[in-house]
Amino acid sequence: MATALPPLWRNRDYMLLWGGQLASTLGTTASQVVVPLLVLAITNSPEAAGVAGALRSLPYLVFSLPVGALIDRWDRKKVMVRCDAGRAVAVATIPLAMAFDALTLWQIYAVSLVEGSLFVFFNIAEVAALPRVVARPQLPQAAAQNEAGFFSANIVGPPIGTVLFQAAGHAAPFAANAITYLVSLVSLLRIETPFHTERAHKALDLRAEVMEGLRWMWANPLIRFMAILTGGVNFINAATPLVLIVLSKRLGADDAAIGTVFSAIGVGGVLGSLVGGRLARRFTFGQMIVALIWLEAILFPLYAAMPSFLLLALVAGAIYFLGPVYNVVQFSYRVALIPDHLQGRVNSVFRLLAFGFMPAGAAVSGILLERLGAVPAVLLLSAWLAAFALATTFNRHVREAAPL
């Protein structure tokens, strides 16, 4: 008879990992929601704000494949600690520049690029480390708890960021974010579980090791399609914040009220994370993925029809309820299939496709909003979602995915 696993809250190392990420995500959401506001205040250009968002996600296109191979060789914990330290320093340069009245748009772009680059290393290491800290049967529950923490931070972070931005000065959200990166760093240092198995020492052949990860994923058509589908959804996710800001301003919302819209996203995300693990156990993988992508495709066009920013927030919350459910289903299924020695490489390939669409989504949203207007932008983005929903419906690998 199998021994019952202790609950996750009694897993000290997992809770340290989760708590540190909760703190840094809180700081990141508080600062990232005001980056477009800061750029708009400097330039009054949605297109410039879109570029800032694109630069933060662009490094995945450049670094994810080699980083995945390196993460399978390096000490994952040391990588994560150094990334937290680097991100703290990068973000802290913004309030420092403001103190000397020297902040420029180009510095905001540079910080976005540096922060995004370090996120690539940190994120791939974290995903690869999770199956070492959490037992395989508890991966869906851990994924759900991670999503709950992420979206809880999205409830609290945006209003904190916008209130600090208005009441304490434009520098305050960025100073707070730098501090939360240091909190994450300290929590990582206290974790005792090794983040990787013992590895054979061999000469580094980066190209061959990257290709091994590519071949593994290419030979798994379900995981390959899920990477492309997740990229398509993330294209919309990257476009949505600027769309919501522009629509909210058009409906009369001030900066603090815009924080309420993003808090609604967090509420929806927390609720979704609470039920994600249960739904994953009750329905098949195919049923869940097809239903979730269709629900988002149906709800997204409603953004264009909302008469008030509060109703806009309600629709945003409903859409972001779906996100963590989708993430729990696809993440726990994926990492359970990948061998530990390939976790970094395969996840880096997956995330190259999954996150590689995000720079385009952020940039395209700014271009569409500035040149066509909010309603046409929403309708074009809705058509994109509908195309992916159709492709998912007709993909037999999704429909016929075997239970783990």
pLDDT at 1: 40
| Model confidence, pTM | 0.69
* Calpha distance 386→295 (Å, rounded): 10
Model pLDDT, residue 111: 94
* pLDDT band for position 33 (cuts 50, 70, 90): confident
The full DSSP string for 98-134 is HHTT---HHHHHHHHHHHHHHHHHHHHHHHHHHHHHS
pLDDT band with cut points at 50, 70 and 90 for residue 155: confident
pLDDT at 242 over 70: yes
> Does residue 126 contact residue 80 with C-beta atoms inside 8 Å?
yes
Q: At a CB cut-off of 8 Å and minimum separation 6, what does 114 contact?
A: 86, 87, 90
DSSP string, 249-277: HHTT--HHHHHHHHHHHHHHHHHHHHHHH
Pick 317 or 33 by higher pLDDT. 317
The structural domains of the chain, ordered by start, are 11-192+206-399 (1.20.1250.20)
Residue type, 163: V
Mean pLDDT of all residues belonging to the chain: 86
Burial of 122 (0-12, 13-18, 19+ CB in 10 A): buried
**From 21-30, 109-118, 131-140, 204-213, the region with the lowest mean pLDDT:** 204-213
Local confidence band at 361 (pLDDT 50, 70, 90 cut-offs)? confident
Query: CA 275, CA 310: separation in Å to the nearest integer?
Result: 24
